[in-house]
Each structure stands twice: as C-alpha cells, then as structure tokens.
Amino acid sequence: MRSHHNSKLNFSHAPYEKNLHLNNVDREIRMGELRLKYVQLMRDAHSFLGDEDANILIKESKDIWDKLSNLKGLEV
C-alpha cells in the first residue's frame, strides 16, 4: 500500500511559525500605533507651546524617562 504522506518533512506550514508571524505582525501594528501617537504628541506640543517651550518640555520628559528607566534596571 502506498503512503499519501510527503516523503520529506515540510515545516513551512508549522502552526508555531504561523503564530510567530502573527505575533510579529501584531507587534509591528502596535509599534506603528505608538509611532503615530508620538508624532501627534510632538506636533501638538509644538503647535500649542511654540518651538522653544516644546523643545524644553520634550527634553525634560526625556530626562525623566531616562531616570525612570535607570531605576527599573536597579530593581531586581
């Protein structure tokens, strides 16, 4: 009796690869949404505050974020 199965294993349709691909797509969509929010926030800051004040606010925000990020690294 002849087998109808492929003689070679083909992992291109493995379910875990499909889930990995979907996770990457979901991640890229989320990153795109965050980029859009960031651009909108920067545009609004410059529109409402003017360039000089917006740049000061952005720099202060970045400094705060950096300090918070460094504190998270210290927590173990």
Question: N- to C-terminal Cα distance for the chain?
Answer: 61
Query: 6-50, pLDDT tens digit by residue?
Result: 555 555 555 566 677 778 888 999 999 999 999 999 999 999 999
Write the CA distances from 48 to 32, 64, 69, integer angstroms: 24, 21, 28
Cα separation, 3 vs 5, in Å, equals: 5
Is the whole model's pTM more than 0.85, yes or no? no
- The answer to whether residue 51 scores a pLDDT higher than 90 is yes
- The answer to whether residue 72 scores a pLDDT higher than 90 is no
Strand ranges (DSSP E) for the chain?
Answer: none
- Taking 3-state DSSP, the helix, strand and coil percentages for the chain, each rounded to the nearest 5, stand at 80, 0, 20
